[in-house]
Amino acid sequence: MKLSVIIPVYNEEKTLRQILDKVLNVNIEKEIIIVDDYSRDNTRQIIQEYEMLPNVKVVLHERNYGKGKAIRSGIQQITGDVVIIQDADLEYEPEDYPALIKPIVDGQTNVVYGSRDLGITNQHSYFSFYIGGKFLSWLTNFLYNSNITDEPTCYKVFKADVIKSIPLVCVRFEFCPEITAKVLKRGERIVEIPIRYYPRKKSEGKKIRWKDGLEAIWTLIKYKFID
């Protein structure tokens, strides 16, 4: 079973080589789809060092859109059986891939989320982010009758035909609540797997802000009532 790894990138010159090397070293048949969202640092020069590898695809945006748009561009390129979203920083550990894809490979579910809350040794960069994530998870469970612990996790894994069939319109960080709402409305069961998490701070390049949290709340509520 082939894994498609979508890596949305924007100004990640400090960590891009490390995360790409980590992903390449995971012993799974895979393709890596790097989507650069018009980085203005040396990110594109680093991407050139990898784009000739046989299992690497590169998509270059001609302007900066946002993470959601980058993921949508990546979805158009997938040829694997299972899809995972990988941030270009070092907060998440690609060595967790085998555990994350196993419920899908075993036919238990079509959707897996990597839960930072179930990884009991994990830390959090900011208390406000932790509380925000807990609230989004609670709101998701309240609106969609689900039982998940970490809705805004980066590590979202899908059977390829499932994510391909879902019409997405997200542009920025609202990818997470939009895809969560739409898979739950379709009756998909989200299985959570504990993951490792190494949070970074704003000074280290963390991009999400409080306004993105408000947008996530609105997105979850909106898709409860519209298709």
140-179 residue pLDDT tens: 999 999 999 999 999 999 999 999 999 999 999 999 999 9
* DSSP per-residue codes, 92-120: B-GGGHHHHHHHHHTTS-SEEEEETTTST
pLDDT score, position 17: 98
| pTM summary value | 0.94
Integer Cα distance of 226 and 143 in angstroms = 13
Report whether pLDDT(123) > 70: no
Look up residue 102 and give its two tokens.
């196993």
For residue 68, give the nearest of 154, 187, 133, 159 by alpha carbon: 154
Integer Cα distance of 63 and 61 in angstroms = 5
**Average pLDDT across the chain, whole number:** 94
Fold classified for 3-225: Spore Coat Polysaccharide Biosynthesis Protein SpsA; Chain A (3.90.550)
Alpha-carbon Rg for the chain, nearest whole angstrom, is: 16
Look up residue 92 and give its two tokens.
């998440």
Tell me the domain boundaries of the chain. 3-225
What pairs with residue 34 in β-bridges?
Answer: 7, 58
**Residues 181, 146: contact at Cβ < 8 Å?**
no
User: What mean pLDDT is predicted for residues 31-36?
Assistant: 98
**Residues 17, 46: contact at Cβ < 8 Å?**
yes
Integer Cα distance of 224 and 206 in angstroms = 29
